[in-house]
Structure 1
Amino acid sequence: MDPTKYLEALVNANSKIIDQLYDKELPKVTRFVMQNNGGQQDAEDIFQKALLQLTTRYVAEPFEIKSSFEAYLFTVCKNLWRRELNSKKPRVTNATHLEPVYDPEDLALSAMEQKRWDLFKACFELLSENCKAVLQLFFNKVSYADIVSRLGYNSETVARQRVFKCKAKLTEFVKKDRSFKALREL
């Protein structure tokens, strides 16, 4: 389905599509959260918060999702959970009744994170296929020895140099982008 249709379904509270999202996407988010020091309730909270955030952002300023909606939603959930872990706020929950809390500052931070992530992805796509492969392995914490064997480099030194050059190229693309300065200052 077109990502915009999902966004419109959220705005219009289309329960059929929202239920499909919960059935299909919540298990993925739950796995991620549980693998990263969270529980089922945390995952449900993050998922609901992500849907609320996307809806609020789309109502305030319609935007286009260039990847699949599912991947975009998962990225939003990951960013929210990571920020939750970093903040280490004490949380009080009432298991019988959960109400979404509207926090404009939290939504603004999430929107900014998402714009930065979108800039990163767009600049990443400008890289050569080799650089994309090298950096994907590097970002996934694959060892240099494994990078050498997977990509056929001569040594770990060559792999390190390639990672360094590709990161430099990616940084160059990001800094040259016209939206970089505005995102950096916020």
Structure 2
Amino acid sequence: MILGLSKHPSDESIVEGILAGGRKEHEALVALYKKFHVSLERFIIHRSTGRDYAKQPEDIIWEAIEAFVVNVKKGSFTLKDATLETYLKSICKNLWFRYISQEASREERQNKYMAEWDKLEDDVSDMLIEKENWENYINLVNKLGKNCKQILDMRLIEGLSMQEISQKLIANGTFENDQTVRNAKSKCLKKIMELITSNHQ
């Protein structure tokens, strides 16, 4: 029986268990989770936008519990401040909103970066078509090395999507992951743009 009490331990017994440390602290954390995880999960889900996030409510709940334990041990929380449920919900809300804000900023940066890649890709394609430069294109790409040639040929000539290109290049061991493929593509596009521009000045 958790903490030697009933199946519904009091807030006081949970705090006492955490302060006691050792096995009692472990039992207190189990009791804490069992007592509040359902209400905390509903609390977080209610504040989500209904989309899938890399971090799930369960992750936030455990982060909140960890923060709570730290605050109890250093004396910055007592039951005079609030009930455990109210305090945990406050931590969860702050953690979740901070995560959503970081996710939005990350997506904004990624979208901006992708837009720059797409614009550069369009510029390269337009210049090659306008100048009827496909033979010259082959000569230029050969100067950039094997990896650049693979990426640019698959993208600009074969018309493969970046996802398809990434899958092929990761599968054959050329790159480790999707991000390294995209970074290489960006560098290759910039290099070929510089070569095309310098050759026609």
TM-score range, shorter chain: 0.3 to 0.5
Query: What TM-score comes out, normalization by structure 1 length?
Result: 0.39
Query: What TM-score comes out, normalization by structure 2 length?
Result: 0.37
Q: Specify the structure having the higher radius of gyration (Cα).
A: 2
Higher RCO by CA contacts (8 Å cutoff, separation 6 or greater): 1
